[in-house]
Amino acid sequence: MKRIILKKRGQIFSLIAVAIVALLFLTFQANNLVQERYTVKTRISTMEGYLHSLENNLERQIFISGFRVIFLAEDEIASTGEFIGSFDDFFEEAFNNGTVNGIEKEIMAGATKDDLINSINEKANKINIHVTFSNVSTVAFQEDPWFTTFVFSFNLTVEDLSGLAKWDRFQVIEARVPIEGFEDPLFLVNTNAMISRRFNQSIYSFGNETAFDVGDFESHVAGGYYFNNPSAPSFLNRLEGNLSSNDQGIESFVIISDLIGQGIPSSTKSMTDHIYFSSNNPSHFGVVGMSSWFRIDDESNRLNYYGINDTFI
């Protein structure tokens, strides 16, 4: 009888031992699963943070690249005395190759497309992430008179080297570079760089909704300020020597004394910069209260655009 009881007790202890081992095993597995999920979640969070920083860094880098390309374009115009032709072609060569007309430009070091991609991959490798760019496209345009927009678009693959996570997405990065402070190519080319006129948005308001103030207009002209006018060429147009009208057009007025001071022959025609520096010579008028040398045309209803309705002669 005692043997039977001992035998049963042994079986019970065995069952308890097995249950304890099973429980420990399940607990261990559960802990592993929790730890694994935590690891994956942490890794995904790290990669999402990297993606966010990548977007911010790319926007900053595209801004730097765009700014340097514009600087190069103006430097090329100043040194050659000629407009650049196509800004799209100029931008593509400078950004893709770091060159202008096949000549390497030191200022583009660290600012080319390959430089941007290599820099991103170097940072990614430090946190065991692999980044792949494909179908890369770049374009520059203006949708605002005072800014040039640079767009960097591409298919992006971001993959954890251990295979925990992967993202595939189409990415578009935009950077807006202000034109204020850059030199006007029309003045560089047409004065042999003897007169420097920098883009500076007017602090004055003109038009039908504002009563014409000849004092403000005179200060606008004397200050070399620019005013948005869709009948004028845009900043990018000016880099190309294209004097066609543009919705993002801007214009200023030539100051005769500046020309005379540099020994540059002057002409009696409209002082509107893109008219003055062209072969076009439309009828022009003086403005009551302005110096006698100042003349303005009425192309595309320019007088009304500035609110000069009954004050011209």
Is the pLDDT assigned to residue 197 strictly greater than 60?
yes
C-alpha distances out from residue 18 to 12, 21, 25, 48, 202, Å: 10, 5, 10, 44, 87
- The residue type found at 233 is P
Q: What is the mean pLDDT of residues 293-304?
A: 96
Residue 1 pLDDT greater than 70, yes or no? no
Indicate whether 265 and 155 sit together in one domain.
no
Is pLDDT above 70 for 11? no
Residue-wise pLDDT for 217-251, tens only, equals 999 999 999 999 999 999 999 999 999 999 999 99
- Kindly state whether residues 62 and 147 are assigned to the same domain: yes
d(CA 198, CA 245): 20
Q: What's the pLDDT tens digit per position in 61-99?
A: 999 999 999 999 999 999 999 999 999 999 999 999 999
Give the C-alpha separation, 54 to 51, whole Å.
5
Q: What are the residues whose beta carbons fall under 8 Å from the beta carbon of 230, sequence distance 6 or more? A: 245, 246, 247, 248, 249
Q: Which range (146-150, 176-180, 209-213, 304-308) has the least confidence?
A: 209-213
3-state secondary structure at position 133: strand
Q: pTM for this structure?
A: 0.84
Please state the domain count of the chain.
Answer: 2
Question: 196 and 163, same structural domain?
Answer: no
Q: Which of 127, 151, 178 is the last residue of a domain?
A: 178
Which structural domain range is residue 202 located in? 185-305
The amino acid present at 97, given as its one-letter code, is N
